[in-house]
Structure 1
Amino acid sequence: MKVGILAAGGIAAKMADTLNGLKHPEIELYAVASRSVERAQEFARKHNMPVAYGSYEELAADPAVDLIYIASPHSEHHTHAMLCLKHKKALLVEKAFTANEKMAREVLAYAREQNTLVTEAIWTRYMPSRRIIAQALKDGKIGSVHTITANLGYRIFNKERIFKPELAGGALLDLGVYPINFAMMFFGHDIKEISGTCVKGESGVDMIDSMTLIFADGKAATLHATAMGPADRNGIIYGDKGYMVVTNINNPEKVEIFNADHKKIEELPLPEQVSGYEHQVISCLKAIKEGAIECPEMTHQETLDVMRVMDSLRTRWHIHYPFE
């Protein structure tokens, strides 16, 4: 499977480094595209890629490309996905999948029409740690679960992709998507109530988010995201017999079980990874081999459900992007 990368920024570099480190016999890091051919060529040289394109159209039209990883800003995901699907290219689209649910529906409808794989690159959904955590909860290690808290924060308020409304900026789509996914991975998608507040920056997009999800079965998730500085990134799942602490919901490093007396009774072993990005690409390879148009780790419906949660929050916060 020859992989092309659309856009040549930081997250694209992380994916390139991951695939080079993976050394998978069936996965080849093949091409990169940027709006600047010089930038694409520099990226290709740095990451040992044979092909560099100065336009996204050239990448989409290359018959050798089997999978395209879309690593452009949120605001561009819809346009770039539709371009690639016109050429029936399988897609791994970086989170947030699109800027809103309407755009997501259009992309996924076109994918079905083209009978072409499209999946969202929310990497935590594909990691082995997800299955390990879910199994521990199923085994009753903390009893009957009732509440999740999760947070994610980095000092990125000064980055264009965060503060510019025209790039679908704000903490929610870039950071809040992770605690939301963390809660929905383990508590499901049947959400009864969505509420929250935010603190906006000068450009009018959210910089600090406080979010609460109430699930139909009575469980609750209290979530936090901030672009103003670092957070501890912890996710905690509470049960009636104890609680589980996940260190770094963005890429779990440690999963610890505590009893009702707050004593650590177990640490769940996590497997070694290249970076964590590899699992979603391996899932795409499997789906392509099977002729599937979605990956089981993040189905089309699950992507739409998450987009709907974020749309609901932005509506409450009166945040609308200029292109909507």
Structure 2
Amino acid sequence: MLTTSLPRPRPVAPGPLPTLRWGIIGPGWIAERFTEALCRHTQQNVVAVAGRTKEKAARFAEKWAIPKVCDDIAALLALKEVDAVYIATPHNHHFPDGLHALRAGKHVLIEKPLALNAQEGRALQAEAQVQKRFCMEAMWCDFTPKYDVLTQLLEQGELGELHTLIADHGEFFTPDHRIFNPDLAGGPMLDLGSYLVAFSVKVGNGAPDTICARGQAAPGGVNGQASMLFTHAKGLHSVLNTTLFSSTPGTAVIAGRKARLVLDGHFYAPGNFTLTANQGGNTLHWQDEGHHYAQLRYEAEHVAWCVGQGLTESPIRPLATTLTTLTVMDEVRRQLGIVFNEEREPRIV
């Protein structure tokens, strides 16, 4: 029998929140939305910014009243008044920038993916342990109220035995977009596919038992489309697709013996879902309100709470979960023959 009401979302910061002094590294599109969420919806304090050029950083600082514009990343990391840094540089910079920040004694929140591969991810985990600093991947969906309600439904077994997960994430990009640039670790896997794989790992409660992937190349030497079939313990199949060639609905379906859960697109973002019983058709609805990028606040507040608790990892998204996601993506890329430039020879940072 379907539950009569949805569970209430639990707080991502269940206690006092310290006000961290944040530095922004990589003042691009997502950093602007993250900074807006901090400035307008939290008590967190953004004190410095560094980018590829000082001019770009200065424009960003002026817009958000950030007091310190740094010439480069090293200058920002040298600031004693910076407690934590949000790293939103291109994907192939996440690992070296995160490593440098940890070595400088800063707590780090690194945009997804944490690194290009699991090996780099493990190196970041090890450095955070050595430095006794907090490190987390900014998989923002994990910290939203919608995802917590979904998590509780799965934990409580409200869908029954799970058999099918179907999800897609495709977007249209013009040829000049960075996602087609092999020098920036382009292709859909790290941008769009990481949401799909992370969702599968979440619903499947760990890495899949088997992985089968097929791909299609895009002009410029990057992968343009990937389709994946994962099989998990207890019979769950994940059917996933990501593409750069066109926009897709971006929906997701989790089908169990008792009920199915349908998430509107984009499934990973704040939004709506419907839980429907297989017998009787009883239905429950989750509906999000407000501007959804404001919910970037939750991952930042969770970081602040964790730092205040003296934690070096998140209990909601521990690095082990991130490393599982990266390991699965490594295998998908192996099957598709996707090798990033930085993987062709060891990086020294």
TM range (shorter): over 0.9
Aligned twin of 1:144: 161
Of 289, 293, 296 in structure 2, the residue corresponding to residue 277 of structure 1 is 296
Secondary structure in 2 matching 1:277: helix
Contact conserved, 2:227 with 2:241, CA < 8 A, in 1?
yes
Structure 1 position 305 matched with structure 2 position 324: yes
Aligned twin of 2:139: 122
Structure 1 position 79 matched with structure 2 position 96: yes
Aligned twin of 2:273: 255
Aligned twin of 1:220: 237
Residue by residue over 1:160-194, the C-alpha shift from the partner in whole angstroms, topping out at 9 and shown as x without a partner, is: 43112221111011000011111222221142111
Q: Tell me the amino acid that sits aligned with residue 6 of structure 1.
A: I
Contact conserved, 1:213 with 1:221, CA < 8 A, in 2?
yes
Secondary structure in 2 matching 1:93: strand
Distance 2:21 2:323 in 1: 28
Distance 1:299 1:131 in 2: 15
Distance 2:204 2:289 in 1: 23
Contact conserved, 1:182 with 1:249, CA < 8 A, in 2?
no
Aligned twin of 1:286: 305
**Greater RCO structure (CA 8 Å; 6+ sep):** 2
Aligned twin of 2:32: 13
Query: How far is the alpha carbon of 1:268 from its aligned partner?
Result: 2.6
Query: How far is the alpha carbon of 1:201 from its aligned partner?
Result: 0.7
Structure 1 position 296 matched with structure 2 position 296: no
Residue by residue over 1:81-123, the C-alpha shift from the partner in whole angstroms, topping out at 9 and shown as x without a partner, is: 1111111100000001111111111111111111111100011
Aligned twin of 1:42: 59
Could you state the TM-score of these two structures normalised by the residue count of structure 1?
A: 0.94
Moved more, 117-126 or 250-259: 250-259
Structure 1 gap segments, 5+ residues each: none
Residue by residue over 1:184-238, the C-alpha shift from the partner in whole angstroms, topping out at 9 and shown as x without a partner, is: 2222114211111111112222111111111123211111111122111111100
Distance 1:155 1:144 in 2: 35
Query: How far is the alpha carbon of 1:269 from its aligned partner?
Result: 4.6
Identity of aligned residues (%): 27
Could you state the TM-score of these two structures normalised by the residue count of structure 2?
A: 0.88
Contact conserved, 2:162 with 2:257, CA < 8 A, in 1?
yes
1:55-134 map, 5 Å: 55-134=72-151
Query: How far is the alpha carbon of 1:262 from its aligned partner?
Result: 9.2
Distance 1:285 1:307 in 2: 25
Contact conserved, 2:95 with 2:124, CA < 8 A, in 1?
yes
Structure 1 position 197 matched with structure 2 position 214: yes
Secondary structure in 1 matching 2:229: strand
Contact conserved, 1:70 with 1:91, CA < 8 A, in 2?
yes
Q: Tell me the amino acid that sits aligned with residue 268 of structure 1.
A: W
Residue by residue over 1:254-292, the C-alpha shift from the partner in whole angstroms, topping out at 9 and shown as x without a partner, is: 010123379561103546566221111111001111111
Contact conserved, 2:102 with 2:127, CA < 8 A, in 1?
yes
Secondary structure in 2 matching 1:211: strand
Distance 2:117 2:280 in 1: 41
Structure 1 position 170 matched with structure 2 position 187: yes
Q: Tell me the amino acid that sits aligned with residue 111 of structure 1.
A: A
Residue by residue over 1:51-97, the C-alpha shift from the partner in whole angstroms, topping out at 9 and shown as x without a partner, is: 11120111111111111000001111111011111111000000011
Aligned twin of 1:320: 339
Secondary structure in 1 matching 2:234: coil
Aligned twin of 2:4: none
Question: CA distance change for structure 1 residues 71 and 202 in 2, over 3 Å: closer, same or farther?
Answer: same
Structure 2 gap segments, 5+ residues each: 1-19, 344-349
Question: CA distance change for structure 1 residues 233 and 300 in 2, over 3 Å: closer, same or farther?
Answer: same
Q: Tell me the amino acid that sits aligned with residue 165 of structure 2.
A: I
Distance 1:298 1:271 in 2: 24
RMSD: 1.7
How many residues are treated as equivalent by the alignment? 322
Secondary structure in 1 matching 2:298: helix
